[in-house]
Amino acid sequence: MATKSFNLGQIGDFAENETEELVEFGATRLLQRLQNPDEEIPVDTGTMFKQWFKRPVSSLEIDLINKLEYAEPVTFGTNLPPSWKNGYQLTKSDNETPIPKDWVNRLIEKTKRDIIREAGR
């Protein structure tokens, strides 16, 4: 049996580079979904969706930010203004159909699946 040994240092920064690419891929994919929600998410003017942007924190961390004051309550249901009392329910404007409150979590889960699929390539 023939064997060949090698030093892990010989493969360079392969794993780090791959991880950085997956972080960038995931951030870009989620940003696209936040800026262009599917037909399940109502868009009256699109103002909130157009305001999302990426801010790199490090090579392994990218923040997705929306500076509109109502973006956090509408997107995550957190930090609700007192005037919103019991929360905020998104609805489709054409027929008042309620949108699931976890709509952004669904986009995040789709993005996670895309990252896993991309990592397997």
Residue 33: HSE in the Cβ half-sphere, 13 Å Cα cutoff = 20
For residue 8, name the pLDDT band (cuts at 50, 70, 90). Answer: low
Per-residue pLDDT at 30 exceeds 80: yes
pLDDT of residue 81: 82
Distance (Å, whole) CA 84 – CA 105 = 21
For residue 9, name the pLDDT band (cuts at 50, 70, 90). Answer: low
With CA atoms as reference, report the closest residue to 106 among 26, 40, 25, 16: 40
Rounded to an integer, the average pLDDT of 96-118 is: 86
Distance (Å, whole) CA 114 – CA 33 = 12
pLDDT of residue 109: 93
Question: From the CB of residue 66, how many other CB atoms can be counted at a distance below 10 Å?
Answer: 18
pLDDT of residue 4: 58
Torsion of CA 100, 97, 65, 67, to 10 degrees: -130
Residues 44-81 pLDDT 10s: 667 888 899 999 999 899 999 999 888 888 888 888 88
